Structure 1
Amino acid sequence: MPSKSLYKSVEYDESASELDLNGIDMDEDGLRTSLPELFEDDLDSTAVPAAAKNIYYSKDLVRLYLQEIGKVRLLLRDEEISEAKIVQRYVQLLELRNNAAEQVKLGASDDLAILQYVEAIEIHDRLTAQLGHRPSLERWASTAGISLAELKPRLATGKQRWAELAKMTVAEIDALQLAGTRAKQHMIEANLRLVVSVAKKYQNRGLELLDLIQEGTMGLERAVDKFDPTKGYRFSTYAYWWIRQGITRAIATQSRNIRLPVHITEKLNKIKKVQRELSIETGRPPRLEEVAKALDMTLVQLQEVLMRVPRSVSLDVKVGKDRDTELGDLLEADEVTPEQMMMRESLQGELVQLLADLTDREREVICLRFGLGYSQAHSLADIGRVLELSRERVRQIESKALQKLRQPKRRNRVRDYLESMN
């Protein structure tokens, strides 16, 4: 269930706003259907056998959930932009703090105060997730391995250092944190209808509806963090991709019908794509050796991936509780959709920001090495000739730059993009 809104709840007015979902195939009973009717067929309250009570208990929870999210109206366009800008400033403030801590870990800075502050906050967040509520100061200090007398000054000193890095006062930091948290919560709660609408499309694929909603809500939260209101997209269009990505990833990971790790599912998608391309090119089913060569894999590696599949099945086979979903529907399509184009633009923006953390020389080496902004990738020797450096020096610069980019917090910024586009 969503947490209580930090904003005053307002009765939903269907005419107040309209989601911009151009190019998105929505069900007839999708977002523009009033919430009580959204699951009317599914939530029939007629008497049922005792064995089915758990199903109706779940549907009662869905009904309560729908009633709760129906109390928050959709955002108008100007409200959406205003809230998104606040969230964007808040996210940038957090990134400034976290990047400063990463520099200390890399040995590029000796700002111990900011590192200790970030580590303390991370411990607090983990405890909150585990307990379901904020931990006491005593529990927080104990988990951090310090005394309560040490925790308080550590937090005060760390926040002061954070404010100095941001060229703000501590009071301004606190105000932006509060505003950012509220704006993020508001955007999430105002778009939970979209999560329900998307989740409903993926019913009977191995996960309960409430589980699908939970996974979709996590995708929605990521969308709020990453949304750039200056790009001109409606948030609903942008969020749809992230919600669907969260749901389909959960299905691939957790479904009782497809018991495969996500990385295996992704490799199978690649194999399927190459098989189809080779079939068109040669006019016959490709041999395993040909598929392995096209994927730059050994035959043994390809066979190991295929052996992870319990048995060979047709992509047209019906799966799910009601056998109304084709297995092929769970695999990614090859066509580049408008949502994928939008995600690629966002990925480019993320890459630019990641490269901005490097020195000019490191950025130049990485761009040349991987062909970013160039027609092709270059060898270390080629880069050395261009930059008038030895091959070994170029390798050292590349190694240092990659070490920076492989830090978990940096890598996670682009992980979901790359996993979905592979």
Structure 2
Amino acid sequence: MATAAVIGLPAGKRLLTTPFCPSDLSEKFFSPDHGSGQFSAAAFARNFIVAKKTPELGQSTAHCQMQTRAIKALEEYVGAFSALSQQSSVSHKEDDRNAELPLEALLLLQKSLLEKQWNLSLDQPFSLETARKQPGVVRSGVSARQRRTSTRKRGSNQGVVVGALRKRKQPAAAVSPELLQNRPRGYIRGAISDGLLTHAEVVSLSEKIKAGIFLEEHKSKLEQRLGCEPTDKQLASSLRMSSSELHSRMIESSLARERLAMSNVRLVLSIAQKYDSMGAELDDLVQGGLIGLLRGIEKFDSSKGCRISTYVYWWIRQGVSRALVENSRILRLPSHLHGRLFSIRSAKTRLQERGIAPSIDKIAESMKMSTKKVRNAVEAVSKVLSLDREAFPSQDGLSGDTLHSYVADDHAENNPWSGVQEWSLKEEVNKLLCATLSQRERDIVRLYYGLEKDSQTWEDISRQFGLSRERVRQVGLLALEKLKQEARRRGLETMLAQQ
């Protein structure tokens, strides 16, 4: 008769139940190698854990008794299991050694399974017929340890096969491993190439760079022909090569350019440091030198017989000079103006050697250039200073007078007092006009001298008043004489001198 296995829970919690059948234990402990199929569920039903719900006892006492009975039942079950395993066939002895577990491990395993999974109820009736109706679990016939071992072996074999396939699929025109190995990783953390390249290495790298330049030029020509950017397949087909070979050549060209540039970075630094104290930052000078270096590498021809350092020196120097010109001043000057200034300095030196004062006219005459161009070039290089800068920095840290307090402004319109004086002068003139002249004389004087609007000619004024030009002129001159006499009488001779 089938029974139910019960797990005691702490007080206040209900019992969890689940259907149980003897085949569950057979699948947990028997494998096909040990002949577990020879025993039916009724043969070892007596080894199940038997417990009854006792209301007189507490839940803790029942829990201890059930654990004791479970351990005893498991010991009997394992004893029967070990006795049966000795009668197995000789052909399965090797698999039995790998599948056997110690008695203590089996007990701990069964206890944990009972505590976590087999939560059954005593109130639920159980019979052998219902146990037979339960769906069986299909087993693989191999223990967990054997499955893990076989999985590891298959993984290692697959890794070997994949590595062999990758080696077979590698294209013939692959990127050179030397370039990938020696590829620099940055400019800052000591990535400058330590060793110098030999002439043979320079020639090899130069040829790869030339091949990359040819591919770029061919791509630009093909783009002009098609009217759009060509794809990699179109470019490869036009060059009669495969796409993989095209990619490998482009990568090799890029790596060769990078390696050749990194081997000459020290030369760029040495040239840039010579221009460090001329007003530009060292980083800007190095950047300009690197641009010149890349340009020189592209133009280098190894068939000429010169060293690459000798050839790229002038390109680096040109790049550094341009960076100095563009970054040394607050107001950037164009390159042609710097060339003109260099010529002016040379002409000035020649005139001084001959004992002639180097004036702007003399310099323009010696250079066969207009005086205006020479003056504009000389005025463009004047030093730029801020008027808010302190004229005399104090040692106590207090702010002193700025340059704005010492620099004179030649433009009168920037002086606020000049505006006040002009306004007061207009007021005095208006008072004098109103006190001395008639309305027609005042209008003619204002129109002719432009006191309120733009000045007009006698011809324009004559049309407005309907008089002849000569008559208007006579009225204007007579009005001006009246004003002079009144100004002398009032002591306004300064106003007459300004007029």
Of structures 1 and 2, the one with the larger relative CO (CA 8 A, separation 6+) is 1
Q: Report which of the two structures shows the higher radius of gyration computed on alpha carbons.
A: 2
TM-score calculated relative to the size of structure 2: 0.36
TM-score, normalisation: structure 1: 0.42
